[in-house]
Amino acid sequence: MIIFPAIDIIGGQCVRLVKGDYATASKVAEDPLETARKFEAAGAEWIHMVDLDGAKAGYPVNTEIYKNIAENTNLKVEVGGGIRTLETIQAYLDLGIARVILGSVALKNPQLVADAVMKFGAEKIVVGIDAKNEMVATEGWLETSEVNYIDLAKEMMKVGVKTFIFTDISKDGTLSGVNIEQLRKLRDATFGKCNIVASGGVHTIDDIIACRDLGLYGTIAGKSLYQGTLDLADAIQTAEALEIRAMQISDFDALYALWTACGNGLNNLDDSIEGIGRYLERNPNTSFVALDHGKLAGAILCGHDGRRGYIQHMSVNPEFRRRGIGTKLLNRALDALKAEHIHKAALVAFKQNALGNAFWESMGFSLREDLNYRNMSLAEMIRFDPEY
């Protein structure tokens, strides 16, 4: 699970609100860039930023601050507040912002969300769903609609949205704990199809554990970090429930079930328990499984012939998608190959398609037209994208 430290901006200052009330704004840090750098030093990979002036005005106000952080840190920046047009989204992405958050516009102009997903890709677009008593609030939380938060999520899923940030406004800035009940309802309504990020009420490490164990994609922490009730480095470490270890033949039954669930093309010789046993005997140190609370979340079967590495299978359990597991498994396998002085690796019989190609190319693989040279399909590459 990803921890997103948060910086909210009013008048160029780092602030936090209580329950979305602008009258409660209090300064929590001196300098946005230095604050971001401290988050990065603690191990953060992402930062969540909201233009509160923009949310109220309906257009971006503090753009230079976000640009400065994107240019002067290695953090991936997501920004929300006052984003109402495709041109604004394009401008933010051109500044190096990793993804933008659409809030009020999701309710008031859903076609714009659909157009944004189509034009920029779902990985660049997040829909923020902020609710009071389960009803969606808009315009910087100054207006409340009669639309249930889950109903809005379902409508956004229809236009291709993959990531939601859910905020229970009654919890935001209160340090009273996350709303697990409403998060669970949203998770159940979108399970296996979308990334859910919890926002509002994070107080202690117990909230991080609760969100992690709920299987959420991420959790946003703001006031708890500034007031010291939550340590960012501790939260990041606790959020990672994934264990990656070397593959063992005793994993075979779970592996076979995973490959079957993912629709991998299997053959009776190479993919039998005897075949995998021989494979692991030849290459005992280059294949890995990922476990979440003891459950198989993903696996990579990788070996080498002394000159080149070969990736035979890579699969992620559908229950654990979009948590970066594919990337982590592949990196572990490539590191293991390098430790054995193997510096080239090839994919064996993976099917080509746009999403899969993007994943493998993002990991440094150069794809050929004859990639599927054995005319087999040991793994469907469509099951991977850079977020898996």
Residue numbers annotated as active site: 8, 130
Tell me if 220 sits within 8 A of 6, measured CB to CB.
yes
Backbone φ and ψ for 329, nearest 5 degrees, come out as -65, -45
Q: Is the Cα dihedral 339, 340, 345, 349 positive or negative?
A: negative
> In angstroms, rounded to a whole number, what is the distance separating the alpha carbons of residues 92 and 83?
9
> In angstroms, rounded to a whole number, what is the distance separating the alpha carbons of residues 176 and 200?
9
> In angstroms, rounded to a whole number, what is the distance separating the alpha carbons of residues 114 and 116?
5
Backbone φ and ψ for 385, nearest 5 degrees, come out as -145, 175
Nearest CA-CA partner of 122 in 74, 89, 94: 89
Residues 6+ apart with CB under 8 A from 151: none
CA angle 297, 263, 153 (to 5 degrees): 65
